[in-house]
Amino acid sequence: MADGEVVADHDVLMIGGGLAGLRAAVAIAETSAHLDVAVMSKVYPMRSHSVSAEGGAAGAIADDDDTLDEHAYDTVSGSDWLGDQDAIEAFVAEAPRELLQLEHWGCPWSRQPDGRIAVRAFGGMKKMRTWFAADKTGFHMLHALFQTTLKYREVTRYDEWFVTRLLVDDGRVQGVVAIELMTGRIQAVTAKAVVLATGGCGKVFPFTTNANINTGDGMALALRAGAPLKDMEFVQYHPTGLPFTGILITEAARAEGGWLVNADGYRYLQDYDLGTPSPTPVLRSMELGPRDRLSQAFVHEAEKGRTTASPYGEVVHLDLRHLGEKLIDSKLPFVRELCLKYERIDPVHELIPVRPVIHYMMGGVHTDIDGAAGLDGLYAAGETACVSINGANRLGSNSLPECLVFGARSGRAAAEYAGSAPPTTAAVQAQVDDEVRRLRALLDRPAGDDDGVARIREELQSTMEEAAGIYRTGPSMEKGADAVQALRERADAVGIRDTSRPFNTELVAALELANLVDIGECILLSGLAREESRGAHQRTDFPARDDEHFLAHHLVRRADDGSPRIEQLPVTITRWPPGERVYGR
């Protein structure tokens, strides 16, 4: 088979085999059995980043005195009032049903001795409502969903296909061009509707919990196709990553009673309006405060010289020793395993060095509450989408259920659209041919001696950390934006040393680099436009939240000349008017 052929036509094509993509596929298979559904993924679905989620998934049901309103309020205030409250209300109402449904599909939720679902505390949540499967929650959730997709013969899979372009004609998305990695062939798959479920973009930064595959491909594809991205300035640091590898030590470690201590062995969070130390965890206090506040506190400790130098930067320590071996082995076995394997530290007896690490993108492809991305036939769900329930700061354990709730919603909406969408237009073939020419030219371009994909990516990552880290300023982001422009020129000219076709990882890395550059630019431009501090976007030149001017989302889209444009979109407020974010009390 030659390059440029349209190899199949489906009703709905999911890009992404993580939680959001698989949930969307199952939603369609269950409700519209006559539709032809496909899932395309650049890795085998079980290798999607969802598999590495540890801590748990929030759903207000298990604790007797919990309510949907309290989950909604915690999410609204956690978002620093930037989350859309209609989406949040739908989310909290549907999350428990989704989690129960997942159990029926085989997810082994941890249980209390009396058989009821066990829940744990999580940062920024007033009640214990985080369901978990020990500390391998994502693995079990994804596995249950993956097995469920296998029941449905109408779900076609394209494993290890890398999407490079959305096909858009007649004002609607009609499919994709992708590289079948095993052969290297460049092919097209058309579809009446496409759901982007491509996950996050942590790799824009140097130090991240995210997998190497999290390069924001879906966001870049949508942007180039003409769909806007939303709230890209809000990038979450998780307060506890292992130095060097960036491997996550789950918030569950603090939920089970772990303490964060500085170089003096002092629980420093008491100095940052996060409550006073208590021997047992107190909800929304101290170590169970929200992630943005905890990461910011780390920076202040470092400035005061109260952190510890390590070969991989300054660290504080997570102390689990007082929890005891029995609890650690039953509730946090993976934490112990990770520490032993990657740091040669046993948390039963030793302190774990940790530092803030890029973890999650609150922004993403702008969608409505049913995943529609503002371009006919295009939907998005999961971390690549911005509905938005997370606003300026996501609460831990809200993302996994978000993938389920909005994965299912977008699947259903895409199915409905596909049911009455017109057939593919002939003009898309010209776009396929155009993409084949572009990719072949990239493969044929001679590689220079000094500039390679890896070097440019490293420079991009360090530029982003300096320009838009935990604290940013106008000048830091302007300087970063200029540097990203220069890096874009180098990335556009980069040559590929490996000219073979099967599994050409260098080619894939070059395409991912182009995506990272686009995402980096959007983060910086959205950040520059937001002259206030809110949630994870902290500007030392504009330290206060400014609801008068910035209680609004930022949309960034490409103008006809290719340059990015920013506009504002009002936040939907239903029942909770903007207020102060108070923790520790």
Ligand X SMILES: Cc1cc2nc3c(=O)[nH]c(=O)nc-3n(C[C@H](O)[C@H](O)[C@H](O)COP(=O)(O)OP(=O)(O)OC[C@H]3O[C@@H](n4cnc5c(N)ncnc54)[C@H](O)[C@@H]3O)c2cc1C
Stretch binding ligand X (CB under 6 A), from 41-49, 280-288, 464-472, 561-569: 41-49
Q: Hey, what are 329's tokens?
A: 């082995």
Q: Please pick, from the candidates 4, 16, 356, 564, the single residue that binds ligand X as defined by CB under 6 A.
A: 16
CA distance 428 to 166: 10
Which C-beta is closer to ligand X: that of 44 or that of 277? 44
Residues 187 and 7 sit within 8 Å (Cβ to Cβ):
yes
Rounded least distance, CB 223 to ligand X, Å:
13
CA distance 79 to 388: 9
Residue 258 lies near ligand X (rule: CB under 6 A): no
Give Cα 93 distance to the centre of its chain. 22
Query: Using CB atoms within 10 A of its CB, is residue 8 exposed (0-12), middle (13-18) or buried (19+)?
Result: middle
**x-marked contacts with ligand X along 48-67 as a string, rule CB under 6 A:** xxx-xxxxxx----------
Residue 21 lies near ligand X (rule: CB under 6 A): yes
**Which H or E run includes 261?**
strand 259-261
Q: Please pick, from the candidates 209, 463, 526, 538, the single residue that binds ligand X as defined by CB under 6 A.
A: 209
Residues 522-561 that bind ligand X (CB under 6 A): none
CA distance 240 to 269: 14
Q: Please pick, from the candidates 12, 29, 38, 43, the single residue that binds ligand X as defined by CB under 6 A.
A: 43
Give Cα 198 distance to the centre of its chain. 9
Residue 290 lies near ligand X (rule: CB under 6 A): no
Q: Please pick, from the candidates 12, 27, 28, 42, the single residue that binds ligand X as defined by CB under 6 A.
A: 42
Which C-beta is closer to ligand X: that of 4 or that of 371? 371
The DSSP call for residue 321 is G
Residue 518 lies near ligand X (rule: CB under 6 A): no
Q: Please pick, from the candidates 45, 275, 480, 527, the single residue that binds ligand X as defined by CB under 6 A.
A: 45
Residue 19 lies near ligand X (rule: CB under 6 A): yes
Stretch binding ligand X (CB under 6 A), from 187-195, 392-400, 454-462, 575-583: 392-400
Q: Which residue has the tokens 């504009």?
A: 542
CA distance 108 to 141: 8
Rounded least distance, CB 242 to ligand X, Å:
11
Give the number of other CB atoms < 10 A from CB of residue 108. 12
Residues 35 and 219 sit within 8 Å (Cβ to Cβ):
no
Q: Please pick, from the candidates 3, 13, 18, 71, the single residue that binds ligand X as defined by CB under 6 A.
A: 18
Rounded least distance, CB 217 to ligand X, Å:
3
Residue 399 lies near ligand X (rule: CB under 6 A): yes
> Closest Cα partner for 228 from 399, 407, 431, 385?
385
Rounded least distance, CB 122 to ligand X, Å:
8
Q: DSSP labels for 469-483? A: SSEE-HHHHHHHHHH
Query: Using CB atoms within 10 A of its CB, is residue 422 exposed (0-12), middle (13-18) or buried (19+)?
Result: exposed
Rounded least distance, CB 188 to ligand X, Å:
13
Q: Is 192 helix (H, G, I), strand (E, B) or coil?
A: strand
Those residues with Cβ within 8 angstroms of residue 146's Cβ, 6 or more apart along the chain or in another chain: 17, 22, 45, 46
Q: Hey, what are 300's tokens?
A: 């202040």
Q: Please pick, from the candidates 4, 123, 138, 364, the single residue that binds ligand X as defined by CB under 6 A.
A: 138
Residues 403-442 that bind ligand X (CB under 6 A): 403
Residue 15 lies near ligand X (rule: CB under 6 A): yes
Stretch binding ligand X (CB under 6 A), from 160-168, 263-271, 284-292, 539-547: 160-168
Which C-beta is closer to ligand X: that of 266 or that of 312? 312
Give the number of other CB atoms < 10 A from CB of residue 345. 17
Torsion, Cα 209 182 175 492, to 10 degrees, reads: 60
Which C-beta is closer to ligand X: that of 162 or that of 379? 162
CA distances from 346 to 255, 294, 308, 310, 317 (A): 19, 24, 19, 18, 13
Residue 197 lies near ligand X (rule: CB under 6 A): yes
Which C-beta is closer to ligand X: that of 319 or that of 383? 383
CA distance 354 to 364: 28
**x-marked contacts with ligand X along 222-251 as a string, rule CB under 6 A:** --------------------------x---
The site that binds ligand X (CB under 6 A) totals a number of residues, namely 47
Rounded least distance, CB 447 to ligand X, Å:
22
Residues 178 and 158 sit within 8 Å (Cβ to Cβ):
yes
Rounded least distance, CB 439 to ligand X, Å:
13
Residues 277 and 339 sit within 8 Å (Cβ to Cβ):
no
Residues 358-387 that bind ligand X (CB under 6 A): 360, 382-384
The DSSP call for residue 551 is S
Which C-beta is closer to ligand X: that of 46 or that of 282? 46
Rounded least distance, CB 51 to ligand X, Å:
7
Catalytic residues: 238, 254
The footprint of ligand X (CB under 6 A) covers 15-21, 40-43, 45, 48-50, 52-57, 137-138, 161-163, 197-200, 209-210, 213-214, 217-218, 248, 360, 382-384, 396-400, 403
